[in-house]
Structure 1
Amino acid sequence: MAPTPVAAALKGLCPRCGAPGLFKGLLDFSDRCKVCGLDFTTFNVGDGPAAILTLVLGAVVVGLAITIQLAYGPPIWLQMLIWLPVTVFGVIGSLRIAKAALLGSEYRTAAHEGRIAPPETLP
C-alpha cells in the first residue's frame, strides 16, 4: 500500500510500497527498494531542495539573529555559537525530508525530463 506523501517524506519510505529504506546514508538514496524493486536512480531530485532550503532557512536564521542582536545585544561569538549549529542541523534534517518529498512527488506525477516535440508534429 502506498504511503501518504507526508509519511513517506518524514520516515524515508518507498513511494510505491511504503517499505522503509529510501536512504542508504544520511542524504544518499538507495539504488532500489528492497521490497518492490522500484529503481530510485531513475528519479532526478537534483539540487532543488538544497537551493530552496538554503534560501528559506537562511532567511529565518538571519531574521532571528538580527532580532536577538537588537533585543539583547549578545557578543558575536555567542551569536555564532547559537546559529552555526542551528543552521547545519536544520539544513541536514530538512534536506532529507525535502529530498524524499520531491522523489515521492516525482513518482506520484510520473515526472520525467522534458522532451521537445519533433518539428513535423508541431502545428
Structure 2
Amino acid sequence: MVDPIPSATIAPGRVALTGCCPRCGKGRLFAGVLRLAPRCSVCGLDYDTFNVGDGAASFLILIVGAIVTGLAMWLELSRSPPWYVHALLWVPLSLALTLGLSRIAKGLLVALEYRHEARQGRL
C-alpha cells in the first residue's frame, strides 16, 4: 500500500490525544499502555518503521518534575503536612503524569515522523 501525500494525514494532535493511526485515523496506534502496535489493523501501516525511542523522556522528566515540585512546595509552605502526606500525594501523581504524558508524546512523535516521512529503514 502506498502512503498518501503528507497533507492528507491525520492531525498530529488528534493522533497524540486519541492514539489513532496517523494515516487513516481509524486503527489503534498502541497495543499496550506505551507499546506501539506492530501495524494498523485498518490500513496496514507498519509502525515498526517509526523510531520514537526515548525522545520525549527528558522533556517529560523536566515538565513533570517542575509541576510536582511546585505543587509540593506550595503545599509545604501553606499547610506544612507530615512527610507521609507528600509521599501519598506526589508519588502517584508523578507516575500518572509520566505515563499519561508519555503516551501522548509518543503518539505525537509517531504522527510527526509519519507526516514528515522520517522513518527508519528507508533508502
TM-score range, shorter chain: 0.7 to 0.9
Moved over 6 A (4+): none
Instruction: Please list every run of 5 or more consecutive structure 2 residues that lacks an aligned counterpart in the other structure.
Output: 1-7
Pairwise CA distance, 1:112: 4.2
Normalising to structure 2: TM-score of the pair? 0.86
Normalising to structure 1: TM-score of the pair? 0.86
Alignment of 1:104-115 (within 5 A): 104-112=111-119
Deviations 1:72-97 (A, max 9, x none): 11111001101111000111111111
Deviations 1:4-51 (A, max 9, x none): 221111110110111131000111000111111111011110101222
Are 1:94 and 2:84 counterparts? no
Q: Take 1:21 and 1:5, find their aligned partners in 2: how far apart are those partners?
A: 14
Q: How many equivalent residue pairs?
A: 113
Q: Which residue of 2 aligns with 1:51?
A: 58
Q: Take 2:37 and 2:64, find their aligned partners in 1: how far apart are those partners?
A: 26
Larger relative contact order, structure 1 or 2 (CA cutoff 8 Å, min sep 6): 2
Q: Kindly, what percent of the aligned residue pairs are identical?
A: 46
Q: Which residue of 2 aligns with 1:79?
A: 86
Match for residue 29 of structure 1 among 36, 39, 54: 36
